[in-house]
Amino acid sequence: MERWTGRCVTAAVVAVLATGVTACGEDEPEAPSTSEVADLDPTQALVAARAAMLELDDVTYRGRTLVASQAVRLKGVGELIVTSDDRCQSSFTHERQGRLISRAIGETTYVFADAALMRRALRYDPAKVAELKGKWQSTSRMQGRDCDLSELLPDAAEYDSFEDAGTGEVEGVPVRTLTGTTAAGELTVSIATDGEPLVMEVSSDNGESTLTLVEHDSGVRIEAPPAKDVLPAS
């Protein structure tokens, strides 16, 4: 983790921001700093969390996710990766239906789906499944759609709907929890109160979707798929 500096510091990053420090020689371990977010009102806490997230190089969230439309309602495993160079990737995996991946790079969005998911969930006809099997589809990125490191936070205009929902821990990290209403429904946000006020966990759909911060500043890179594996969306 790039946040640790000094002559001899070893960062042990496990699970969700469980960062340890190993002393060198006679140096003493640094004590964790308590974030001011613990004493701010909910709107100010969300503002502070957004500022802290935007200082990072990259973030990775994982957890359970609900994908719902008029045609399908699936629960599975989700992952969101966002980098500071305006690139992001979201993926959804269902035990039986397969994977769906969306990757935004530059002006292009790339989408990949397993054949099983195309047949069952997306309900593509057999000819289209055969054409797209093992391929990515490319399309123009939605105008004005940024890959924001504070992606999981609500819009600023929605901050004033949030209120305190207590304190607790996310994978051993002390957090302050806020709940509020967004355009997509009810949202619960847990913000770290030790160190930087990072967004540790976000839950929606009455808890059916919950994503937890598992890594940040890891150096992860998001690259475009090989050109030979890409077809224009039709």
Read off the tokens for 191.
Answer: 């913000």
Would you state the pLDDT for residue 123?
A: 84
**Interior CA angle at 185 toward 159 and 162, to 5°?**
25
Would you state the pLDDT for residue 120?
A: 80
Query: Residues with Cβ < 8 Å from 33, sequence gap 6 or more?
Result: 194, 195
Kind of pairing, strands 136-140 and 173-182?
unpaired
Contact (Cβ atoms closer than 8 angstroms) between residue 19 and residue 4: yes
Q: What is the DSSP letter of 18?
A: E
Would you state the pLDDT for residue 15?
A: 24
Would you state the pLDDT for residue 67?
A: 76
Length of the chain: 234
Residue type, 65: T
For residue 89, the cross-strand partners are 81, 103
For residue 103, the cross-strand partners are 89, 110
How far lies 57's CA from each of 144, 147, 176, in Å? 21, 12, 23
Contact (Cβ atoms closer than 8 angstroms) between residue 174 and residue 187: no
Element (H or E) spanning 176, and its range?
strand 173-182
Would you state the pLDDT for residue 5?
A: 23
Contact (Cβ atoms closer than 8 angstroms) between residue 226 and residue 43: no
Global pTM reads 0.81
Domain ranges of the chain: 34-56+150-214, 67-148+220-232
Kind of pairing, strands 18-22 and 10-14?
antiparallel
pLDDT along the chain (234 residues), means of 10: 24 24 35 70 97 97 83 86 97 88 95 89 88 94 83 95 96 95 94 96 90 97 96 88
Contact (Cβ atoms closer than 8 angstroms) between residue 137 and residue 111: yes
